[in-house]
Amino acid sequence: MNKLSSLSEDFLVNHSLFATLNSIQISALISNARFRRLTKGAELYHADYPNQLYILKSGTLKISELDQNGDEYAKEVLWRGELFGGLPHTTTMRIDEYAQVISPLVEIYQIPAPFLESLFKENYSFTQHFMTEIASRVEKLEARYRSLVRLSDAKTRLIYLIKEWAQKQGSWSKEQILVENYLTHQDMASLICTTRVTVTNILNELRQQEIIKYNKQSIELLCPHVFGKRAPLRAAS
């Protein structure tokens, strides 16, 4: 765990979460935050950070939990700029969940709860903004669950998942969209509430229809119109 470099500082202080902080509070944020690099397979359990907030600078994480049989169940994928971890009374993760690195490398910021609570007391605008960020994350999850209900067949749900994935981190051109593939078939199945065998069969069908090229490293989307137009880029967050 390291103090922030100047490049790390730039990303953190420009994150939308901290837009309402003044210069003194920004300096305190830099002093209190810690920067971490984790490699593929590393795990962070809720018990390890009940009073820490994390911000993902680069790479990809999945949020999972274990079911009653001890099998892993993937619930969400997080990309650059997203929050996870928890604070007293305002947790973004359940106690039985954990985060796992699925890209070759992730870079994250760790910010302790006592410091954030001091900002809440000093800066009411920050408190409001923070709660808006948390509410936005909850709304995103609810929208995803609604889509699972609305999209009745597994093929449509899988295309929706890949579309979301492409919007977040795909490399777009007129002819194709290239997405780095960090998820297993079981991960995809968990995320769209189906079976691993069904995901495998659908991917094979899409490949035979020349809609995608698929391997363990990447998914190449050969028919971008199937996956929709690229969403406008958000402001740095």
Tell me what the pLDDT averaged over the chain comes to.
83
Determine the longest span between alpha carbons in the chain, in angstroms. 59
What is the C-alpha separation between 57 and 109, in angstroms, rounded?
A: 7
**Nearest CA-CA partner of 66 in 50, 88, 45:** 45
The yes-or-no verdict on residue 231 having pLDDT over 90 is no
Q: Nearest to residue 235, comparing CAs of 42, 15, 67, 35?
A: 15
**Does residue 41 surpass a pLDDT of 70?**
yes
> Model confidence at 237, in pLDDT bands (50, 70, 90)?
very low
Can you give the pTM of this predicted structure? 0.79
Banded pLDDT at 150 (limits 50, 70, 90): confident
Mean pLDDT is lowest, of 18-27, 65-74, 89-98, for 89-98
Phi first, then psi, for residue 180 (nearest 5°) are -70, 135
Residues contacting 80, CB < 8 A, separation 6+: 56, 57, 58, 59, 169
Contacts with 16 (C-beta within 8 Å, 6 or more apart), sequence order: 81, 133, 235, 236, 237
pLDDT confidence band for 8 (50 / 70 / 90): low
Residue 233 token pair: 């880029």
Query: Which of 44-53, 168-177, 199-208 shows the lowest mean pLDDT across its residues?
Result: 44-53
Q: Classify domain 6-148 at the CATH topology level.
A: Jelly Rolls (2.60.120)
Spell out the domain ranges in the chain. Answer: 6-148, 153-227
Residue 235, pLDDT score = 37
Q: Per residue in 76-107, pLDDT tens?
A: 889 888 888 865 555 555 567 889 999 999 99
**Spatial separation of the C-alpha atoms in residues 161 and 194, rounded to whole Å:** 13
Most confident option among 3-7, 63-67, 183-187, 215-219: 183-187
* CATH architecture type of domain 153-227: Orthogonal Bundle (1.10)
